[in-house]
Structure 1
């Protein structure tokens, strides 16, 4: 019990720190937006107005979605594990604060790919958790087999990845941002097959990483199912032996 309280305390501290960082980043980006040049960057590392628009958008979205676990617990009675919430907060920190505000997407090689792999694994695990919650619900009366649980988790993680790509495309079209990385850090606009590279890479990484965590989850569920069936099988064998005697 003490360990659980300590974990909950760390979760609250992590939540507050990340929320404050995102709020301060919105203020910072708003100030820099008024000073930044318009159009396309002409110098390496120079940020233009569209970059700060993207920074503000991402931080505001982060400040909203960081409340999703708490809202799910309050409205639907889902008891999201504290550790899973902390991993979710850390992902938002890495994706938004480090990725957009500190510009890790350009500073750190494969940062975007790492985050997509991380998010696919996290969402796949969340898919397993949601099915487990529905299986334990007294109103739904679900008892899904390991294959269908794994299939749901895979579809859930992959769909979330696709929705994210749609969000990136929509933001780029409406706000003139560069979330889909169709333009390099030096301002070179990609075209044709090269322009599709980032989006297709993200979707492929999402699917592959989701498939990996789903395979691990499926193997674990099958092992647990066999363990549950062993006492029943022994009982049947004992009953059969008794009847024969």
Structure 2
């Protein structure tokens, strides 16, 4: 007769085999990278590896603490996102090697944050003891706003790090045309445009002059920030639409279920469709 604990592990393996395999493979990869960084004496990257291993445990911790179940697809995306951002992006320098790596991750971040924001309220909507029921449109709007707020706060963090430690987290962009009222010779409020810029010479306080040689004017992070927020907007909007139709279909949308956590402490079975909320009803 099998031990109850062994039966529990077998049940988990059957239900979450894909997540477990991805989790094990990614952890092994991170450990190997960490050993390589230790031998190279690059302890900053060792810290990133340790941080990655800790972040890998967060989905399981949140499931236990919040008494929720993360769909396999969502959990795999979260694990791959962490690995792509920390190991491949930072240690593997993919942010530099592949110009659109950061853009893809910001798009995915918008999608994931919208899923989290949506789930926070959808779980309450499904909870048997919840005192309010929100319309599908309201849930979608909240999910979108939550994701955009997280994106803005992250850009605040990047800007702060750049200003204090000059990390260039908001990556600079070379542009060939600029317009600024600060270039108005009359000192007025008219934007003066400079076109076909091929180089910029920087003059320091001691008189040292340095030609940047970048082929244009160096934009300090503005375009990168706007691009990050725009792709975050796309990711957030995409999930908000998915979430909207998920609620409208009374939770029967199989595709959306792959991305939306459910509460375990509701008297309603976790896979059972929720009652369709009354239009804009708040009790």
Question: Is TM more than 0.5 here?
Answer: yes
* Equivalences for residues 1-245 of structure 1 within 5 A: 5-29=13-37, 31-32=39-40, 53=44, 55-56=45-46, 58-173=48-163, 176-182=166-172, 193-224=219-250
Q: Which has the higher helix share?
A: 1
1:27-59: CA deviations, max 9, x gaps? Answer: 44455456xxxxxxxxxxxxxxxxx74x45543
Q: Partners in 1 of 2:274 and 2:29 — Cα distance?
A: 47
| Structure 1 unmatched ranges of 5 or more | 35-51, 231-245
| Structure 2 unmatched ranges of 5 or more | 1-9, 175-211, 252-272, 277-283
TM-score, normalized by length of structure 2?
0.60
CA 1:120–1:187: 2 relative to 1, 3 Å: farther
Paired positions, count: 208
Question: Which SS does the other structure have where 2:16 is aligned?
Answer: helix
Q: Partners in 2 of 1:7 and 1:178 — Cα distance?
A: 43
* Residues 113, 147 of structure 2: 8 Å contact kept: yes
> Which gives a bigger RCO, structure 1 or 2 (Cα 8 Å, sep 6+)?
2
1:180-216: CA deviations, max 9, x gaps? Answer: 22489x997x987442221221112101221132123
Following superposition, the deviation at residue 7 of structure 1 comes to 4.8
Map of 1:47 onto structure 2: none
Q: Which has the higher strand share?
A: 2
Question: Which SS does the other structure have where 1:141 is aligned?
Answer: coil
Map of 2:177 onto structure 1: none
Q: Partners in 1 of 2:26 and 2:233 — Cα distance?
A: 28
Following superposition, the deviation at residue 131 of structure 1 comes to 2.1
Q: Partners in 1 of 2:35 and 2:163 — Cα distance?
A: 24
Q: Partners in 1 of 2:38 and 2:138 — Cα distance?
A: 47
Map of 2:266 onto structure 1: none
Following superposition, the deviation at residue 127 of structure 1 comes to 2.6
TM-score, normalized by length of structure 1?
0.68
CA 1:6–1:167: 2 relative to 1, 3 Å: farther
CA 1:15–1:58: 2 relative to 1, 3 Å: same
Which of these two proteins has the greater Rg computed from alpha carbons?
2
